[in-house]
Structure 1
Amino acid sequence: MEQYLVYLVEDEDNLSAVLKAYLEKENWNVKVFNDGNEALEAIEDKPHLWILDIMLPGTDGYQLLKAIKETEDRPVIFISARDQDLDRVLGLEMGSDDYLSKPFLPQELIIRAKKILNRVYGTSTQEQKKIELNQYIIDPIGRTVTDSLAQGEEVVDLTTKEMDLILLLTGDIGKAFSREKIIEYVWGENYFGSERAVDDVVRRVRKKMNRIHLETLYGYGYRILSS
């Protein structure tokens, strides 16, 4: 079992205690914050997953989400008892990876968390080989891309979703992936919204990694070619 670090930000003491107990049953290290300001100060800890309530004392969930994505872009699950449709849309637009409306079963949170952790960090501790593509070195375990042509072999600054896209497409060079498949892998099955989100991520990846051949298959999706 992977030893993940999970930060839970929830100001309801009873709920946070229950969720913490369920998360720890998965052998995950869990830290609870009851105040948004305290959680904001802990962003530099870089936990593997954040679980954020939206309504919090001090810094609210939206502000925390923005700060997390700007600092390290770690995966985030939003939870809220407010207008769930509005919060869900706003949260996903701001970069949250999933959303749960209260009340929910703790087991459902565990299922959602496992899917995100497995997607972002992998399901196995077995060695995964680095991929070299047009002088870019892609490390699936470290989730980094290094530009070997840059001075000092500079690390390419990719967001979580940009990295997920690269890992998906380079995991099978030459294979075409539909927009629907990319959305399922990068955003998750519960994503709803425009497929143009895929095009936006592709555009940013092309700008940051301009030597890769990321081909558009019009009306279908994308693939990466070896040359």
Structure 2
Amino acid sequence: MTRILIIEDETTIAQLERDYFELNGFSVDLCHTGSEGLKLALQRDYSLVIVDLQLPGLDGYELCRRLREAKEVPILIVSAKNEEIDKIRAFNLGADDYITKPFSPSELVARAKAHLARYERLLAKKEPKASEEIRIRGLRIDRASRRVYVRDREVAFTTREFDLLEFLSTHPNRVFSKEELFERIWGLDSNGDIATVTVHIRKLREKLEADPSNPQYIETLWGAGYRFTV
């Protein structure tokens, strides 16, 4: 499921946007301040971010600038500021689209879908064909045969362990929360518990690391999630 972030301090508008996106099959996170929104946008893997410009604390312009410096995620501005100079400034800071209030929720969803489709096409052009083998220091992952070699010794992994390792190793240096990993590997419809992510990370470390208490491959970022380092 496509996950988006809405950063909007007007609760009624934020809930309206969320309802329309959820009706169209999106997973939505809401926050109401610029600083909280930037923190979430940098920590989590969103497909699209919707930003109001007049936010308490960190305003939408600065949020847009910092987010664009760090990520290529589509950014849509939804704002009551309707002067041309406001739009030009937002586009110069990295926004992909600008919608003025009051707006049509259906049009907002349609524009979001269009930007998501465009970004997917761009990424498809940029990304090389996935390698069948991943080599990182003393680790070798054969994706075709689903075999893992640690310091030239084959180590057995369960299906879920391999899926989790493959996902993390193909997204190096990115932070994923437990919730995101559970959704990606087990799926939203799974009957499992999110605590299984912690258990599987521990098992991966036991099989990968020379010293599991001092992991070199899978780092824990307290309060944020896990990161596979290369």
TM-score by length of 1: 0.53
How far apart are 1:44 and its partner, in Å? 2.2
Q: Could you tell me which of 127, 133, 142 is aligned with 1:144?
A: 127
Match of 2:59 in 1: 60
How far apart are 1:80 and its partner, in Å? 1.1
Q: Does residue 7 of structure 1 match 2:5?
A: yes
How far apart are 1:139 and its partner, in Å? 6.8
CA offset digits 1:100-124 (Å, max 9, x no partner): 01111101101110100111125xx
Q: Does residue 35 of structure 1 match 2:19?
A: no
Aligned counterparts of 2:83 and 2:72: Cα–Cα separation in 1: 23
CA offset digits 1:162-211 (Å, max 9, x no partner): xxxxxxxxxxxxxxxxxxxxxxxxxxxxxxxxxxxxxxxxxxxxxxxxxx
> 1:46–1:72: 8 Å Cα contact kept in structure 2?
no
1:78 alignment partner, SS class = strand
Aligned counterparts of 1:85 and 1:145: Cα–Cα separation in 2: 39
1:46 alignment partner, SS class = coil
1:140 alignment partner, SS class = helix
Aligned counterparts of 1:37 and 1:93: Cα–Cα separation in 2: 21
Q: How do 1:88-167 and structure 2 match up within 5 A?
A: 88-122=87-121, 140=124, 144=127
2:69 alignment partner, SS class = helix
> 1:80–1:87: 8 Å Cα contact kept in structure 2?
no
How far apart are 1:33 and its partner, in Å? 0.8
Percent of aligned pairs with the same residue? 31
* 21 and 95 in structure 1: CA distance in 2 versus 1, 3 angstrom threshold: same
User: Larger Cα Rg: Structure 1 or Structure 2?
Assistant: 2
How far apart are 1:95 and its partner, in Å? 1.3
> 1:139–1:145: 8 Å Cα contact kept in structure 2?
no
Aligned counterparts of 1:54 and 1:145: Cα–Cα separation in 2: 36
* 139 and 72 in structure 1: CA distance in 2 versus 1, 3 angstrom threshold: closer
Aligned counterparts of 1:46 and 1:86: Cα–Cα separation in 2: 31
Could you list the structure 1 runs, at least 4 aligned residues long, displaced by more than 2 angstroms after superposition. 143-146
1:88 alignment partner, SS class = helix
How far apart are 1:53 and its partner, in Å? 0.1
Q: Counterpart amino acid of 1:15?
A: I
* 39 and 85 in structure 1: CA distance in 2 versus 1, 3 angstrom threshold: same
How far apart are 1:145 and its partner, in Å? 5.1
> 1:76–1:98: 8 Å Cα contact kept in structure 2?
yes
* 14 and 72 in structure 1: CA distance in 2 versus 1, 3 angstrom threshold: same
Q: Counterpart amino acid of 1:86?
A: I
Count residues with an aligned counterpart. Answer: 132
TM-score by length of 2: 0.53
Which segments of 5 or more consecutive residues in structure 1 lack a partner in the other structure? 123-137, 153-227
Compute the RMSD of aligned alpha carbons.
2.5
Aligned counterparts of 1:72 and 1:144: Cα–Cα separation in 2: 16
Aligned counterparts of 2:32 and 2:4: Cα–Cα separation in 1: 14
CA offset digits 1:77-97 (Å, max 9, x no partner): 011112431211111111111
Match of 1:170 in 2: none
